Structure 1
């Protein structure tokens, strides 16, 4: 058992294992930097969410928030688990199409969807477009008329609830770039525009209050507000809201200082709050949709690196440098996100020193972990940063003209590459001569 987080598996050689395979062997076989996913963990979390809904006897969708990690292979795993997905761009939708994902189980988010993106959604008759602003209502209306098509829609609302998280992760407050504000009357005006359009079917309402949230109270408040609004709109417009989409944002454990509840416990609290409020307001129980992303893929992902240089400055923590960094995980530089790491090939060894884990990029802020206890590392050791499955690869870049890493899925002791490592030729493939 891993001595730092207490949840990782170590084999007889004292090495970290991922999905039944030695992490050092994965690094040797596929090279580093490498992002490895334990697919069983992904499946288990989806199943955990499903179980709560089924035990509470509520109609539901677990809509994977694909911005956390969107690849053909990932969408295929979600499809195998009979899940739903939430996309936020034409690129994510195109990936779902290439994966053979059921189009009727896709919702399309985004605060500035382009005409081309909405046309793609209409052409492929996806399940629902989640409308974010008045411009989008008009744009979708024009497209539906031009194509003589119809579309299910939801309205994204800002309920005036601010989550206790990083300010960049807050999305439910009134002053947000996302959605229609309830307090000012924007939401009702948007509803009237939708109801006036016979090509749009009003399916439900949506709110998302933020990300990496540890307390259930904000979700309960948002759920109550959505129920009250649905009841008010039913009384005023005779509207039957079929779906309450309460978003995602369930926090996960990145370090020993994090102490979140199990993600499915958020769902249980939300369902019970909705059931109680619906009974109070006396209208039909709607389906409940959630949009977890981080909580599905975050704990399942590992970033594997090869240790290189070391810099020792008297009076300060040493720098141990790896062959990746902010190009494959920008979250520490962008959000001051915290992670923990182990030496994958010496995971059973006692810690001997505290170091900073630095990346190879030409930025002083390229430090992946500011303070990490490790055994004394040597060049060539394999370092694994834990719980990097969300927003690592999806936010990766080619800064300093470094290729993006490969991604492997590991399940039942078998490893399969699902994203190839970029080559130097890939880096210049879109460049054009000037002279």
Structure 2
């Protein structure tokens, strides 16, 4: 079990941000998403520094799909970061939080007409265009609002990144972006240059998620800068900006060996300088898009144990008051997490159990076999590194209300997303 940020152990109990797990569950209920605010801030600062945003005008764009609330929008703005959104709902969250929309990148492989129109009306800084249909639609809507809309073209660089099949995105056969097949990319560039209400500012790629190796990023740099040079040679148009995506891996279990923030950033920056010199092109303004690696280790989910069922000679099931509704990743693609009983955290781990969720699905299992402290009904189970894709992928399956989110810092806890009530659960039904 690895502790991050402001986590500490006092008198056999897990504290986060100076607040005990028992107090957090007592005050706010469970399941409960707990985010270490100081750790979030520190990680944002590290990326901003290590990617040389101040010196080189580079940008770090937080990928909101990992975890997005109005409070998170305000936090990243205060740290000088940009924001990626992938839906009208994420865009509207940024808008309502007062986030400056000229610092927003709008992604997505099938933006609806209403989403595109909302983005243009609100003044989104950059649309990351995924396909020709979107480009034509965007040009028409921008003309309607008398706007010249900045865009990036999303390209698939054909890079192999060693990660889970479901979260690979940079290979040629992908639902995302323009593939380097035939004249596909150059045709997209020429169409963008012909569109009167579009301004082609940059190129974008994203090779996948939960990646630990640095080489795939260096390969992507070489490929993308090669595209920039080819575009200049064929069209005369200079691409001044390049977004290299994110996907930097984090620690979930001891099997994971992530690099430091500085390692990823320094390697990418050095490779860009090397390739630009080799190709004799100007270094573009660079963007990276860390999402999971900013919030993942900052989040812990707390549950209350409600039932313990021993099947003699087979398995002991420890059931908690959440499940695939608040963290679908284990059921969806076998994601692994470290876990411990937060109110007896220094006790010896001598109970081998399965941790089960409460949903009416046999697949609602956090882990089939784990050794933890001896569990009792009413104990608090902590699941670590749940800051990314827990809250953002949560659902109301089985009519379970969504869990609350609290930020903790310096001994204080504040709600940033309330627990959904039953009345709120039915608010849209007629």
- TM-score interval, smaller chain: over 0.9
2:4–2:297 CA contact under 8 A, matched in 1: no
Find out whether 1:5 has 2:11 as its counterpart.
Answer: no
Q: Which residue of 2 aligns with 1:383?
A: 381
RMSD value over aligned CA atoms?
1.3
Change in CA separation of 1:6 and 1:142 when aligned onto 2, cut-off 3 Å: closer
Shift in Å, 1:348? 1.4
Q: Which residue of 2 aligns with 1:347?
A: 345
Secondary structure of 2:233's counterpart equals: helix
Q: Which residue of 1 aligns with 2:141?
A: 143
2:3 and 2:85 map into 1 onto residues whose CA distance is 34
Q: Which residue of 1 aligns with 2:73?
A: 75
Find out whether 1:328 has 2:323 as its counterpart.
Answer: no
2:183 to 182, 185, 188: 185
Q: Structure 1: 5+ residue runs without aligned partners?
A: none
Q: Which residue of 2 aligns with 1:290?
A: 288
Q: Which residue of 1 aligns with 2:240?
A: 242
1:93-108 aligned within 5 A: 93-108=91-106
1:111 and 1:54 map into 2 onto residues whose CA distance is 30
Shift in Å, 1:372? 2.0
Secondary structure of 1:417's counterpart equals: strand
Q: Which residue of 2 aligns with 1:25?
A: 23
Shift in Å, 1:6? 5.0
1:277 and 1:176 map into 2 onto residues whose CA distance is 26
1:149 and 1:56 map into 2 onto residues whose CA distance is 29
Shift in Å, 1:336? 0.6
1:344 and 1:425 map into 2 onto residues whose CA distance is 31
Give aligned pairs, total.
Answer: 429
1:340–1:372 CA contact under 8 A, matched in 2: no
Change in CA separation of 1:108 and 1:84 when aligned onto 2, cut-off 3 Å: same
Shift in Å, 1:355? 1.2
1:23-422 aligned within 5 A: 23-54=21-52, 57-422=55-420
TM-score (norm 1): 0.96
1:27-57 CA distance string (max 9 Å, x none): 1110000001001111111111111122994
Secondary structure of 1:46's counterpart equals: helix
Change in CA separation of 1:349 and 1:383 when aligned onto 2, cut-off 3 Å: same
Change in CA separation of 1:277 and 1:56 when aligned onto 2, cut-off 3 Å: farther
2:53 and 2:387 map into 1 onto residues whose CA distance is 28
